[in-house]
Chains A and B, each alone.
Chain A
Amino acid sequence: MTRVSPSTGQRVFDVHGATERPAIAPPRHAPVQPAVDDATLTRWLRDMLLIREFEVRCMQAYQDKKIGGFCHVYIGQEAVAVGCTAAIEAKDPMVTAYRDHGHALARGMSARACMAEMFGRIGGCAKGKGGSMHMFDRANNLFGGHGIVGAQTPLGAGLAFATKYEDEVINGGRSNRVTLCFLGDGALNQGAFHEAMNLAGLFNLPVIFIVENNGYSMGTSIHRGTTMGHDLSSKALGYGIDAEVIDGMDVLEVHAGMSKVVADARRRSRPWFVDMRCYRFKGHSMSDPRKYRTREEEEVFEAGDPIGRLERVMRDRGALDDLRFKEMQKAVREEVRDAVKWADESPAPSVGELHHDVFVEPWGPYTGTSFPPFLREQGLKAPWREEECP
């Protein structure tokens, strides 16, 4: 959607409903910039480059039919995952939606485990049983990507409930964890989100609902699907939950804004709502030709590429030069190439895996469709070849 600015006469892309400013709105309260050292910036840049490279290779692998199903790439939103995970501690739980590869990598999942999951191989984080929309990583406190829009929001409230219960009922206030719950702007129209907000507000749960507001729920612009699309923080107002608007295209802004929000959620044990303004460079999924938006609009946002922005900041600081940057690009390319190779060589799950992980402990005499052993003892035979049903 474009408008002409009455003051400048220039065309303005109104993805987030900001009428006269560039589509990325500045935060309502300028966060105090915490001092970030060069080493940290370098790590963030590397992580963002890794996610970008990973997603580019996913697109290729999808076209090569190595990846099946749906594939939702995170290109353009790297600063959100990297900046948010940088603002929390390893102990803090995190849960997200189906566009989850970026979160998994930012949280510390290896590119190998992530790619093998995309490929549906045994080496994947969920043995190939979850797929691209369902990245789980217990070691890194990632409680899943979840495929149903909005379904993860009550789960996020529940994770925060559990941390609070642990502190108040079990061990007396030691862990003090904060939960990050990511959602897209489309999830705002699901009942589950509103129920989760109400419960979080009611029970004072330390959960931060981060709306990765890229302006589109699948192919529907926010103004065609969401009331008050120009100011999502009004959603939080109705639940008495504090809200923040953050420029999600700038990792420094994300980190600074989220650090403040996380500290407050931790200190007061209260939920927060964050309108994280960002842009999805590619379509909703690999099958989306994105005919609902103009090339011109995309070019405007691509000019604000979060990786380019961090790169410029680092160059201005003298923390990055051409040589270093090329080395970093080469290193992540190598890392992702290795992940693809490793995923490709990882075997498909054995057919026996089909029946594993349905219950924590195997129970009962009958697994799947296997023939009851007591009938076999009576000399009866299964009507099918049993080896096919391990």
Chain B
Amino acid sequence: MSSAEAAVGEPDPGSRQIEFRDALREAMSEEMRRDVRVFLLGEEVAQYHGAYKVSRGMVDEFGERRIIDTPISESGFAGMAIGAAMLGLRPIVEFMSWSFSLVAADPILNNAPKMLYMSGGQFGCPIVFRGNDGAGGQLGSTHSWCVEGLYSNVPGVKIAIPSCPYDAKGLLKTAIRDDDPVFFLESERMLSVKGAVPEEEYLIPFGRGIVRRRGADCTLASWGRPVNFCLEAAEELAKEGIDCEVIDLRTIRPLDLETVVRSVQRTNCCVVVDQSWSFGSPGSELAAQVHAACFDDLDNFVHRVHSADVPTPYASNLEQEYLPNVRRICEAVRHATYRA
């Protein structure tokens, strides 16, 4: 896992190493101290201190009026939080897993992102939905959704997907201050990963990707956990003489096409790595946009690496093959650069 490379204007990550989950908690706690309208609700967030211990200790500081345990009732508490947001509060809704958010699809897709538009600009919905997204850890098919493919389809949402603790904190603070609904996608597989996070306050703006690794032969564009696989793949490929540039988009709505295009104009080659299913996914959208913007620059069509087009399998070996992994990313780059 490589440490975050701070973008221009962002503070130096420094030497303090903390876990991904602690970065998330710091972001929430700092914002709750700053703004009394911010509160956290979800299953097991208070007395149990978070199913994944992201909210550990927060109830001790903020009390049960602001760190709120809910019943297992996603549709109810997501809708309730949206109602509260319409009246000016700034809820953070924790879904234990984004897979479970599917039972709340009506409020989070039909209400939150559409409210401003339907009301002709009268009622915004400043809310953050966050939780664990994606497969890994052999949880089987129902618990292993990558919801970005599904949710990025709806206008009015912003989707942030951090790939390291530094981004987790900076992006979540931005999400909480955002006046629109933000879907914040974490990965259970990354919660205990450590990374450098500065003590000082910083915000990471939405819609600006970051170049994690410079390279001349092929642009690897990704977000979230697979960024780390891309960095590993780039190291592998470097041994074969293929020099990859790795871009972490950080948010997929808004999508930073500019950083990708500027890179592809130099490398003339692009591979998109997206852990959601390929059909109608953000990776497909990005590939289409890169084709439109870089038609004359590309030496090959944009290759894509997605999760396999099957329900997530339980067996460990199948699950590893199902997800975008270093081997499959390397293969895609070799094909895209005519080295296969």
Contact = CB atoms under 8 A, between A and B. Distances in A.
Q: Which 5 A/B pairs are nearest by Cβ-Cβ distance?
A: A158-B83, A154-B79, A195-B76, A126-B120, A136-B119
Contacts of B124: 360
B180 A127 contact: no
A263 interface: no
Nearest to B39: A165
Contacts of A366: 254-255, 257
Interface of A: 93, 95, 124-130, 134, 136-138, 143-144, 146, 148, 151, 153-163, 165-166, 168-170, 191-192, 195-196, 198-199, 202-203, 356-361, 363-366, 372, 374-375, 380, 383
A365 B258 contact: yes
B258 to A, nearest CB: 5
Contacts of A162: 83-84, 86-89
A136 B120 contact: yes
A89 to B, nearest CB: 15
B87 A144 contact: no
B118 A195 contact: no
Contacts of B66: 169
A198 B73 CA distance: 9
30 contacts: A126-B119, A129-B117, A136-B120, A138-B119, A143-B87, A144-B119, A151-B110, A154-B75, A154-B77, A154-B83, A154-B107, A155-B79, A155-B107, A157-B79, A157-B80, A158-B82, A159-B86, A160-B83, A161-B84, A162-B87, A162-B88, A169-B36, A192-B79, A357-B119, A363-B158, A364-B254, A365-B207, A372-B261, A374-B261, A375-B293
B123 interface: yes
B156 interface: yes
Contacts, number: 173
B293 A372 contact: yes
A191 B77 CA distance: 12
Contact of A151 (B68, B84, B107, B293): B107
Contact of A143 (B83, B110, B292): B83
B84 A159 contact: yes
A356 B320 CA distance: 43
Nearest to A154: B79
Contacts of B75: 154, 191-192, 195
B174 to A, nearest CB: 11
A97 B293 CA distance: 44
A250 to B, nearest CB: 30
Contacts of B121: 127, 356-357
Contacts of A202: 71
B287 interface: no
Nearest to A156: B83
Interface in B258-313: 258, 261, 292-293
Nearest to A155: B83
B111 interface: yes
B24 interface: no
B88 A127 contact: no
Given A138-B123, A170-B36, A198-B71, A95 B83 contact: yes
A360 B116 contact: yes
A158 B120 contact: no
A17 B24 CA distance: 54
Nearest to B256: A364
B235 to A, nearest CB: 31
